[in-house]
Amino acid sequence: MVYCLLPVSMVTVVLLAAIWMYRHRKPPYGHAHINQDPAVPSSPPLLRLQPLQLLEVKASGRFGCVWKAQMMNQHVAVKIFPFQNKESWQMETDIFMTPGMRHENILKFIAAEKRGNHHDAELWLITQFHQRGSLADFLKGNIVSWAELCHVAESMACGLAYLHEDIPRLKGEGPKPAIAHRDFKSKNVMLRLDLTAVIGDFGLAVRFEPGEPPGETHGQVGTRALHGSGGFRGSHQLPARCLPPNRHVRHGTGAVGAGVPLQGCRRSGG
């Protein structure tokens, strides 16, 4: 078995190029392109969903577990938080309901709600389901070509660039603030069937509201820096107060951090 580990510098160059292309081809602020159905409200309220059947657990972590579920005629992902993790559920819900959070490279939010009562209560976060799962899971059992890697990198960079962008005015919505993910890793990047990257898991994200300091949430999270990279700390490892206020600097730190998920790319042969 032969393992090929791409240099951080090479991946970072690809990501920076993708972000540059995205920023120079996107429409001006007043006409930002948001991939959404006009009939769907930008900030859906908490609601009691149609009957939903949990099918199988797809992932689990310290804040809860993610189920594949059936809702009407479609599969959805249901992230279930125990009630003691209400703060994490609320933070992620707030980020998803931020104006302008509909984009082809951002996980599609459907709804959030409380299920059950008192001690057995659960907090549900329902999003679009992606059969391929996370980038981390996909790389464990698949060979990725250079063209496929570039596609993943470009779509991932577009999602990050959009998150980092502050848009003063959106048609039919309020302004979209810049958002720092702060827990960006391959497990938090989903893949569509065509390997387009979709960024999710915003439990540690922070918004940069105009004229206000970013709200403090959690401190350093569990994602490890690359072995041998010394003192590298991505934006996902920094408290909100330490994040750079300049949005162009945030783009740079995000691009470096985005190189970490792609270092898991492996090639095997027999």
Residues annotated as part of the active site: 183
Distance CA 91, CA 218 (A): 11
Distance CA 127, CA 135 (A): 17
What residues contact residue 171 under an 8 Å CB cut-off, 6+ apart? 31, 32, 34
84 vs 63, 78, 176, 201, 206, CA distance in Å? Answer: 9, 17, 30, 18, 21
146 vs 4, 150, 182, 265, CA distance in Å? Answer: 12, 6, 27, 10
Distance CA 70, CA 120 (A): 22
What residues contact residue 5 under an 8 Å CB cut-off, 6+ apart? 263, 265, 266
Tokens of 30: 């007043």
Distance CA 221, CA 238 (A): 8
3-state secondary structure of 236: helix
